[in-house]
Structures are given as C-alpha cells and as structure tokens.
C-alpha cells in the first residue's frame, strides 16, 4: 500500500480505538504474575528463587513465540493474531479455578506468558494501522497507561480476595483471575466486531531473516533496552514487597501495597508521558526517566523508612513507564518496511523478564534484597547509555 494512502487510513475513529485500548487493558494482566507469585510463595512456602520461577516462566515464552508471531501476522493479519492471543489469555485465567497447586500455577502462568507474547507482538503494530507515525510513540504510551490500570488493580483485587472474598467465593486471592477472565471475554467480543483495515505484508519473511535484523547495531541496542526495561519492571513488581518485609517486618498482605504504589506511579507516568512526548523530544524525556530510576535504585539500596521506600518504588514506576514506548517506536521508525518482524524481535526482548527475576532470586537468596536491587541497577545503567543513541526528534 502506498505511503500516502496508508497515512490517510490512519485516522483511527473512537469505535476502533476503544476496542484496541481494551486489549491494552488485557495486556496488563501479565503483571499479575508479581502479585500472584508472592501469594503462591506464601501458600506453598517457597524460597525466593523458587517463587521467581513464575515470572521467569511467564516471560520465557516471549523468547519462543515473539518472532513466530511476527511471521504469523504476515499470514493471517494483526487483528486475527490479537484475537488468538486473547483466547489463550482467557484460558490462562480460567485454569487457577481448579486449584492452587504448584503444577496448576505453572500451567496458568505459562499460558499467560504465551498469550501475552502473542498479544504484545501483534497489538502494537495493529495500532500503527490507526495512528500516523508522528503520533505513534504518544499513542503507544497511552496504551501503556491503559495497560498500567490493569496492573495496579491486580494487587488490590488479590488482597481483597485474600482478606474478604474467601468466604464468599472460596477462591481467595485467585478471584483476581475470574474478574480478569470476564474482561478478556469482553475484549474478544469487541475486537471481533470492529472492522480494521490492514495493509498487506510486502513480503513473507522467514525466522532467520527476522533474527538477522539483530545484526543491525541500533536494532540490537533496542532489543537489549527492552530486556532491561521489562527486567526492571518485573523485578520491582516482584521484589518491592519483599524489600519492605525484609527491612520492616510487615506481613505480605500489608507489604503488597508497595506493588500497588509502583503501578499507580507507572500509570501516572504513562498518562503524563502521552502528553509530554508530544511536547518534548523522546531523547530528553527518556534521559530524565532513566535518571529518576537511578535515584530510585540508590533509595532501594539504602533506605529503611517505609515512606522513603515508597518514594523509591514510585520513582521506578514513573521512570520506567515510558521506556518501552520510546524504545519500541524508535525500532519501528528505524525499520519502517519490516514492522511485523521488528515488533516480533522487540517483544522477544521481554525475555528480560525471565533473565532478571532468576538472577535476582539467586542474588536475594545469597545477599538479601539488596542483591536483587543490584541486578536491576545494571539494567538502569544500560538504559542510561542507550539514551545517547536515541534520535533527537
């Protein structure tokens, strides 16, 4: 499709935008893994390294499914691929209704990871069919804002379920899965009924042709940037309550508020970023965001006051809220003729959600939660260096 015609189709009526944004909300369900793994750890008496297997397992599937999903989009289209991802996500949320054993939760989190890998690979390029390139970064950021709403609601619903819903539903904190499954059903119905015009793929790429894109230096830097972003995100989601429990001796139900604070700050950051990125260059805002995270790491290393720890956690949430959108849009702009393939590679970078929690789990078992913070700091330092490679406009 010619560029002029394609740009003309990217007007994005509200009837198209609303179902797509509801899909972003469903995308946020993956963040329940941090809260869920903490409650499973408590229920089953697991160590940090054992419990961190759950978020690691979720994001392992991004390594396996992201690039094949990019190829699948070339065959069946982006909308159909998103619908498949929503169906898989719904299955993942139904499985925990049958129990809370280690095996059942492994199956649930595996399906959640597979569904989210397919969704994140296909949904972001689908937005590019509705939005002009100059508004892509800010629109993806707004999508991340909608996603973050689901993320910060997860610990609230889980804590409510653990403290009050047990006698009513018999599911405890797992009532979270039922509520989010209902939203998934609604997302499937709305997106299926929404017509979206897609351009045909210019060519059919193979798996190794996609992987070969990593030989481009800037694409590789973006890939590693995504790995660090999601590693910090999942790491904070999982570790923030443990830091408070270790240093202040609070119970899990009380310490879980730290996860809520993280996601509230990330939600505010995404909402603000949607406007700021229309006024400020991505490079400047990205650098400011990374500096906030660097300050936060110092706080998480040293603080023993609850309020100061909350401030540090909030700084990570706000600082990390727009990293994905900027890196992802930079990669798409760098290779506009290979958006499906580049999207698959960038979402494969969410494999950082496997690498970081595993390393953090072993580090925290050996050195306490300061060891986990040290692993996240490595990712922040990389993002600081990546800032130098971002285009000014």
Tens digits of residue pLDDT in 265-315: 988 988 888 788 778 888 899 999 999 999 999 999 999 899 999 999 999
> Cα(200)–Cα(318) distance, rounded to whole angstroms?
37
* DSSP collapsed to 3 states, 377-391: HHHHHHHHHHHHHCC
Confidence tier at 133 by pLDDT (50, 70, 90): low
- Banded pLDDT at 8 (limits 50, 70, 90): very low
Mean pLDDT value of segment 9-37: 78
Lowest average pLDDT, out of 60-74, 275-289, 303-317, 334-348, goes to 334-348
When pLDDT is averaged across residues 121-133 and rounded to a whole number, the result is 78
Provide the token pair at 173.
């904190």
Of 160 and 298, the structure prediction assigns the larger pLDDT to 298
Return the pLDDT at 205: 57
- In whole angstroms, what is the distance from residue 268 CA to residue 256 CA? 19
Compute CA distances 28 → 48, 224, 228, whole Å. 24, 22, 18
- What single-letter DSSP state applies at residue 11? T
Q: Decide: helix, strand or coil at residue 303.
A: coil
What pLDDT is attached to residue 319?
Answer: 94
Q: What are 250-260's pLDDT values in tens digits?
A: 887 788 889 88
The pTM assigned to this predicted structure is 0.73
| CA separation, residue 382 to residues 30, 260, 287, 294, 354 (Å) | 24, 26, 12, 11, 17
Instruction: Look at the alpha carbons of 227, 233, 235, 238 in this order and tell me if their dihedral is positive or negative.
Output: negative
Nearest Cα residue to 343 out of 113, 126, 18: 126
Distance of alpha carbon 241 from alpha carbon 233, whole angstroms: 14
Decide: 129 and 117 in contact? Cβ < 8 Å.
no
Task: Report helix, strand or coil for 136.
Answer: helix
């Amino acid at each position: 499709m010619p560029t002029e015609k394609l740009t003309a189709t990217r007007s994005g009526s509200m009837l198209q935008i609303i179902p797509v944004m509801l899909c972003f909300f469903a995308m946020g369900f993956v963040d329940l893994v941090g809260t869920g793994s903490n409650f499973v750890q408590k229920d089953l008496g697991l160590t940090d390294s054992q419990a961190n297997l759950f978020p690691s397992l979720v994001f392992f599937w991004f390594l396996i499914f992201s690039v094949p999903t990019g190829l699948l989009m070339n065959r069946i289209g982006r909308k159909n691929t998103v619908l498949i991802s929503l169906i898989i996500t719904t299955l993942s949320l139904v499985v925990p209704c049958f129990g809370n054993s280690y095996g059942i939760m492994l199956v649930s989190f595996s399906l959640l990871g597979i569904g989210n890998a397919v969704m994140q690979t296909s949904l972001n390029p689908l937005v590019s069919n509705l939005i002009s390139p100059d508004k892509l970064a800010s629109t993806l950021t707004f999508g991340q804002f909608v996603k973050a709403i689901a993320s910060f609601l997860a610990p609230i619903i889980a804590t409510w379920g653990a403290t009050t819903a047990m006698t009513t539903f018999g599911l405890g904190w797992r009532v979270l899965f039922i509520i989010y499954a209902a939203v998934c059903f609604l997302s499937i119905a709305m997106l299926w009924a929404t017509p979206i015009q897609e351009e045909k793929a210019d060519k059919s790429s193979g798996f190794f042709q996609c992987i070969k894109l990593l030989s481009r230096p800037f694409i590789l830097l973006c890939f590693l940037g995504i790995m660090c972003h999601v590693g910090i995100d999942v790491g904070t989601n999982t570790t923030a309550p443990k830091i408070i429990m270790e240093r202040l001796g609070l119970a899990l139900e009380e310490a879980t508020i730290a996860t809520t604070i993280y996601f509230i700050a990330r939600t505010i950051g995404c909402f603000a970023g949607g406007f700021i990125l229309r006024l400020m260059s991505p490079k400047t805002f990205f650098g400011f965001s990374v500096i906030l995270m660097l300050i936060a790491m110092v706080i998480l290393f040293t603080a023993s006051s609850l309020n100061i720890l909350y401030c540090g956690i909030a700084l990570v949430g706000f600082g990390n809220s727009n990293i994905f959108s900027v890196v992802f849009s930079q990669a798409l702009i760098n290779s506009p003729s290979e958006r499906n393939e580049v999207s698959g590679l960038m979402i494969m970078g969410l494999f950082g959600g496997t690498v970081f929690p595993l390393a953090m789990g072993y580090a925290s078992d050996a050195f306490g939660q300061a060891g986990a913070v040290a692993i996240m700091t490595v990712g922040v330092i990389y993002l600081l260096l990546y800032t130098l490679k971002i285009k000014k406009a």
